[in-house]
Structure 1
Amino acid sequence: MKRYGSVIGLSEDGKAEYRKLHAAVWPGVLAKIADCNIRNYSIFLKEPENLMFSYFEYHGTDFAADMARMAADPETQRWWAINMPLQSPLETRKEGEWWADMTEIFHVD
């Protein structure tokens, strides 16, 4: 199992819609997340800065393949098309990132 954390901004105008969407995530999207070996997935919002922190645990053996499979899923693509315009990616993110990856520097069970 590997832990992942990432960060992104959330537009002030889109905040209410984003909260509404995530209060009732589509069942097909939730199923695809589980199918792609993601567990213990959370998104936190820090206000008033409107920064979101995402955390999940990956329980598979081929992260790149699972993420490609998720990205190819039509329902997930529709979900992202609605949510992505509400987000504000960090200018400091690496090329190819939407949510900026974070490095874990501490963990205790």
Structure 2
Amino acid sequence: MTRLAFKMKLNAGQREAYIKRHNEIWPELKKLLRDSGVSEYSIFLDEETDTLFAFQKIAGDGGSQDLARNPLVKKWWAFMADIMETNPDNSPVSMALEEVFFMK
């Protein structure tokens, strides 16, 4: 199992919309993530900075960040583009984070 972490940025005032959309995540998107090896996926919000911290456990070398060409993922990105910082293709602006400590 590999652990991945990355951060993204939520637009100011969009906390409730972000939570609502993720509470209603599309079943087919959840299945796609699981089928691609994502077994755990958590997202945390730092409300002072509107920074989102995401953590995934994945099998293999993939993860949600490797699904950029999938039409369902592109549809999700378009759905989320109005409430978070995005690139020109609607993908979330994200920065991978280096793991510097892990306690088993």
TM over 0.5: yes
Unaligned runs of 5+ in 2: 87-91
**TM-aligned CA deviation for residue 84 of structure 1:** 2.9
Q: Select between 35-44 and 12-21 the one with higher mean Cα deviation.
A: 12-21
Which residue pairs with 1:79 in the alignment? 76
Q: What RMSD over aligned residues (CA atoms) do the two structures have, in Å?
A: 2.1
TM-score normalized with structure 2 length: 0.82
Unaligned runs of 5+ in 1: 90-96
Counterpart residue identity of residue 35, structure 1: D
Q: Select between 10-19 and 21-30 the one with higher mean Cα deviation.
A: 10-19
**TM-aligned CA deviation for residue 82 of structure 1:** 1.2
Pairs aligned (count): 98
Identity of aligned residues (%): 26
TM-score normalized with structure 1 length: 0.78
Output aligned runs, 1:1-80, within 5 Å: 1-60=1-60, 62-63=61-62, 67=66, 70-80=67-77
